[in-house]
Amino acid sequence: MWVSPMSDLIGLHDAERDRMKNKIFPNYALMKISAYHKARGDTVEWWAPDIETPYDTVYSSKVFDFTPVNSKLPEDTIRGGTGYDIYSRLPPEIEDMRPDYSIYTACDYAIGYTTRGCIRHCKWCVVPMKEGGIAPYRDWRELVRPDSSKLVLMDNNILACDYGSSQLKSLIGSGYAIDLNQGMDARLVTRSIAEILSRLKWIRFIRFSCDSMAQMDAVLNAAELLRVRGIKPYRLFVYMLVTEDLSDAAARVESMKQLRGINLFPQAERNERLGIRPGEGQLEFCQRYVYSGCFRRESWDEYCKRKNLNFGR
């Protein structure tokens, strides 16, 4: 790679860090940008608005469209990420870089994708528009780092193609503990897939998503296929989209309560692109009913009655 005869000063800005001061999960794009510029001989640091020496280039990456834009960023800042533009892409020479983990010192695991895209077309998800249908992307062996035995895969629907399933199968017995942090599509869990999942080493949870009651039977089926292979419900983690239809979310919670010890993570629907923001009922359901553990002791209607709330009536 060509190395600049003079070192440029590069500033990196993780927009979500402005919103979540204790954010730990790294920004994949910024790590690749950092690696690219360091390979060129440039100096890379986190952007600071009050630096005396001006930056030659500032990069800002934003994952979520509801994350505020930092007004102090220079006008010529290079902005990318789904939060700015769902069609933004890294140049190939940066995309192909191995990430620089040194800029996120709390990150003790490798991250990456083995597949990109998704076969579903959920109205709340930008992945099909941004990445298209499912396609192979990397072999997991290209993603691991020498100083860690943990690998976090960010694939949006790893089970939707044979390549993704084969990647998981090849991880069995590798010594690496994994996490699929986007949640798997339970509708794609067959007996053979359940066998693969049951034999993998997991960092903590086996994650699924359940965004409507229509997916409930699939989640219960996946849980049963895993149970007979020794995976108990407390090892499962389910992401739940919570829309304005709280009755649907409440029905899903009641159905999953039969899986004693299961971990639920409801997320109130928010989509700035479509003008959708969560209402009080959605926030109450997520933050106080489920996160607090009240859902384990009472139904949503019982909770609302006890709290004298009208959301569940």
Q: For residue range 244-293, list pLDDT tens digits in order.
A: 999 999 999 999 999 999 999 999 998 877 788 999 999 999 999 999 99
**Domain tally for the chain?**
1
Burial of 164: CB neighbours in 10 Å, binned 0-12, 13-18, 19+:
buried
Mean pLDDT of 203-228: 97
Which structural domain, as residue segments, surrounds residue 69?
A: 1-101
In a domain, 21, yes or no: yes
In a domain, 240, yes or no: no
Contact partners, residue 79, CB within 8 Å, separation at least 6:
59, 60, 61, 62, 73, 85, 88
| Assigned domain for 75 exists | yes
Residues contacting 276, CB < 8 A, separation 6+:
124, 269, 270
Answer whether residue 66 is part of any domain: yes
Tokens 């700015």 correspond to 84
CA distance 49 to 64: 22
Q: What is the mean pLDDT of residues 167-196?
A: 97
Q: Kindly state whether residue 68 falls inside one of the protein's structural domains.
A: yes
How does residue 312 score in pLDDT terms, banded at 50, 70 and 90? low
Q: Do the Cβ atoms of 114 and 167 come closer than 8 Å?
A: yes
Chain-centroid distance, C-alpha 137? 17
Task: Report how far apart, in Å, the C-alpha atoms of 248 and of each of 10, 140, 304, 308 are.
Answer: 48, 37, 15, 21
On whether residue 19 sits in a domain, the answer given is yes
- In this predicted structure, the answer to whether residue 121 has a pLDDT above a threshold of 70 is yes
166 band by pLDDT with thresholds 50, 70 and 90: very high
Is residue 201 situated within a structural domain?
A: no
What size, in residues, is the chain? 313
Residue 313 has pLDDT above 60, yes or no: no
pTM across the whole model:
0.91
79 within some domain: yes
